Structure 1
Amino acid sequence: MILTVLFYLFIAVVAIQFLYYIVFFSKFSFYKAQKGTPKRIPISVIVCAKNEAENVQKLVPLLAEQDYPEFEIVLIDDASSDETLDLFEAFEKQYSNIKLVKVENNEAFWGNKKFALTLGIKAAKYEYLLFTDADCYPTSNQWIKEMTGHYTQQKTIVLGYGAYEKIKGSFLNKIIRFETLLTATQYFAWAKMGKPYMGVGRNMAYKKEEFFRVRGFMDHMKLRSGDDDLFINQAGNGTNTAICYTTESFTYSAPKTKFNAWFNQKRRHVSTAQHYKGFDKFQLGLFYCSQLLFLILPIILLSFQFQWIIVCSLLGFRYLFSWISLGLAAGKLKEKDVMYFYPVIEFVLILTQLNVSITNLFSKPVHWK
């Protein structure tokens, strides 16, 4: 009796997975990237940095060399204790379109990136904003042009792709990039369906009016993370949100190289997702529960050889359609190599996510530097 129940539950799980990978994710996976219409709107590029001296030395010249007619670069130093501020001041003298915002330690908002970003947004000269992180860099000098090309009168939020560098011979690097691919496939697909629920601060854009419409970060200011995903979860909708995933629009950043560092990063992301809207928490929870059950149920059923032919057929069917869906997405996002190890990477990632959820029940993750 129990095995029969588990068997039908497994069938339901595969059906749910089919719904996500083929019905939902196909909105991104099966469609070509659309070029935006070139714009000449003035842009404020905003970068917030805290103790990022080594990274900003590389980033700022790349931003200054962007092929775009009119833009400023707003550099925010969030009370750094290294040479970040010195470098920003030197860049301010070197480039005429750089504006420097210095954030002093504030007892009420100490160490809160959202406070620093708010000051930078208010200081920005232009209405249209484009964001990246200090440890990122654009893949081309067309980054501003590509991202702003998706702004329209209705589309006032643009979600981009923030990729991670490839590290040859690193299995952890493949796991990190696979997770980034899966996450991007999800938030791009849901945005295409009119239900945007997150974006990444490594690469996103929005108008000032959207920021002030939802009172900025005030509703979640006490949470150290969420300046990107919680903001989009609150401000984004089917009318105002566009996506951009042309190759020239990507940004890259260095991934974690130690498992513990990546694990702690995931803990922060998961803790933030608990504050999403109810529907978004439900659909994400349903997807990850179905992922976990897809691993557990066939092991139980096959260990008793219960309907093993059907179980094996469903396993093969599920891996086929998920491989196709994610493989197409990987092609768009230049992550094809991670799909060669797909079943193994997925297995490790699902177990890691379970471990993260359990760990977060007993302790709070650390945020912002």
Structure 2
Amino acid sequence: MVQLYFSLFVHLKLALAVIKVVPEPVNTALSVIICARNERENLQKFLPSIFNQDYPNFEVIVVNDRSWDGTADVLEQLEKEYANLKVVTVSDGSKFIAGKKFAVTMGIKAASHDWLVFTDADCEPVSNNWLKFMQQPADDQMEIVLGYSPYFKKRGLLNALIRFETFFTAVNYLAYALKGMPYMGVGRNMAYKKSLFFRNKGFAAHMHIPSGDDDLFVNANANSRNTEIRLNKDSYVWSEPKTSFITYLRQKKRHFGAGKLYKPKHKFILSTQIIVQFLFYVLLIGLICLPTTRYYAFGIFGLSLLIRSFIYQRLLKRLSYGDLRWWFPILDVLLFVFLVFNGILSIFVKKVNWK
């Protein structure tokens, strides 16, 4: 029943939400910020799609964070092609603060405009209307906009698991934002005010951990009055997924560490979801082993699966993962096993760097 509560009264709200058409341009100038560490190939491949946006006034700030793969040469060439590209270079030094948060902060300081749109070097907007959706809302009280960033489809089970995990993460944070309880966003596609960043001292409260430049900032500063979400497909930003299990584990370990610093009410909600899912499968296995309760267990499992499949198949199609709809029961179990494994691993592996 608790599991179905999250599905029916939280996630279904996202499935039924009305998608807005392209908003009327406010024409407020904005700054796109991208942090790049050894991203030579991705910058060559994806950065032109940022400059091709159908938006009247924007700059693109790329922070070259201690790269040694030729990123600087690529950016130098791109500066000659695009007048609205600004490059910020972070070099190693005795007083250098390692980590993406420092690079993000340098990019924010270099921004000429108050409205900041964030993405990554390995990301590509789905259309040239992306910035129209991520622009500053007409309501000046809105200080944060949360977008959605799916991963490109590749071959293999790992890619399916990565996309399914990203899907559930997005469903959760977008649905709770709709309910007036925003608790996180993803740095591949989000926006907020520069003034909000400095008014609340940026990342000062969690500068000591490598992750959290996106979700922890939103967790600390977003509320029902200053946050909106974007669901239109033209607002999506596609991203390159990890291609090995080890690199994916490292990525999720960073995210797991940030979650420990969420507000208590958000940690309670997220922990409850995991615990309830764990108990659901444990009790299912236990009751199946007992002859007197076996058929009841199968019946309850079937009913739960039927209801949840109806909701999540609709959401998978809405969030551009329609090809995963028929794999939902299997991926649901595999994702749960992975999350438990990652949680246990996080107890023993303490330090993980950005890159």
Q: Is the contact between residue 38 and residue 149 of structure 1 (CA under 8 Å) also seen in structure 2?
A: no
Q: Which letter maps to 2:16?
A: F
What is the CA distance between 1:213 and its match in structure 2? Answer: 2.2
Partner of 1:275: 261
CA contact (8 A) 2:317 2:325 kept: no
Partners of 2:294 and 2:133 in 1: CA distance: 50
Residue number in structure 2 paired with 1:116: 103
SS at match of 2:4: helix
Residue identity in the other structure for 2:281 = L
Q: Find 2:218's aligned residue among 232, 251, 257.
A: 232
Measure how far apart 1:309 and its partner are: 3.1
Rounded to whole Å, the distance in 2 between the matches of 1:152 and 1:313 is: 49
1:145 aligns with one of 132, 137, 153:
132
**Could you tell me whether the CA contact under 8 Å between 2:32 and 2:118 is conserved in 1?**
yes
Give the CA deviation at 1:354: 0.6
Equivalence for 1:12: none
Q: Is the 8 A contact 1:37 1:150 kept in 2?
A: no
RMSD: 1.4
Partner of 1:10: none
Which residue matches 1:357? Answer: 343
**Is 1:172 equivalent to 2:158 in the alignment?**
yes
Query: 2 CA distance for matches of 1:223 and 1:262?
Result: 18
Equivalent position to 1:211, from 177, 197, 200? 197
Q: Is the contact made by 1:182 and 1:326 (CA closer than 8 Å) also made in structure 2?
A: no
CA distance in structure 2 between the aligned counterparts of 1:338 and 1:93, rounded to whole angstroms: 42
Q: Which range is displaced more, 150-159 or 89-98?
A: 150-159
Q: Please give the alpha-carbon distance, in whole angstroms, between the structure 1 residues aligned to 2:95 and 2:144.
A: 29
Any conservation in 1 of the 2:177–2:224 contact (CA below 8 Å)?
yes
| CA displacement at 1:205 relative to structure 2 | 0.5
Taking structure 1 as reference, are residues 53 and 98 closer, same or farther at Cα in structure 2, changes over 3 Å only? same
2:85 maps to 1:98: yes
Aligned counterparts of 1:292 and 1:214: Cα–Cα separation in 2: 37
**Match among 54, 57, 63 for residue 70 of structure 1:** 57
Q: Letter of the aligned partner of 1:162 in structure 2? A: S
Relative contact order, higher structure (CA 8 A, sep 6+): 1
- Alpha-carbon distance, 1:32 to partner: 2.6
Aligned to 1:8: none
1:67 aligned counterpart, secondary structure: coil
Instruction: Tell me what 1:38 maps to.
Output: 25
1:288 matched to which residue of 2? 274
Cα distance in 1 between the residues matched to 2:286 and 2:198: 52
* AA at the equivalent of 1:347: V
The question of 1:256 aligning with 2:242 is answered yes
CA distance in 1, matches of 2:351, 2:239: 22
| Distance in structure 2 (CA, Å) of the matches to 1:235 and 1:106 | 31
2:296 counterpart letter in structure 1 = I
Distance of 2:214 and 2:269 partners within structure 1: 19
Cα distance between partner residues in 2 of 1:277 and 1:306: 43
Percent identity over paired residues: 41
Alpha-carbon contact 2:210-2:254 (below 8 Å) kept = no
**Which amino acid is 2:100 matched to?**
K
**Residues 117, 192 of structure 2: 8 Å contact kept:** yes
TM-score, normalized by length of structure 1?
0.93
Inter-partner Cα distance in structure 1 for 2:342 and 2:93: 31
TM-score, with normalisation over the residues of structure 2? Answer: 0.96
Please list the CA deviations of residues 41-80 of structure 1 after superposition, one character each: whole Å capped at 9, or x if unmatched: 1110111101100101112211111111010011111121
Among candidates 149, 173, 184, match of residue 170 of structure 2: 184
The structural deviation recorded for 1:150 is 4.4
- Asked if the contact 1:30/1:325 (under 8 Å) is kept, the reply is no
What secondary structure is seen at the aligned counterpart in 1 of 2:150? Answer: strand
What CA distance in whole angstroms lies between the structure 2 residues aligned with 1:134 and 1:346?
30
Q: Secondary structure of the residue that 1:350 maps to in structure 2? A: helix
Post-superposition offset of 1:151:
5.5
Unaligned runs of 5+ in 1: 1-14
Structure 2 Cα separation of the partners of residues 103 and 318 of structure 1? 51
Letter in 2 for 1:263: L
Q: Which residue of 2 aligns with 1:247?
A: 233
Aligned counterparts of 1:186 and 1:33: Cα–Cα separation in 2:
17
Separation of aligned partners in 1, 2:295 and 2:48: 59
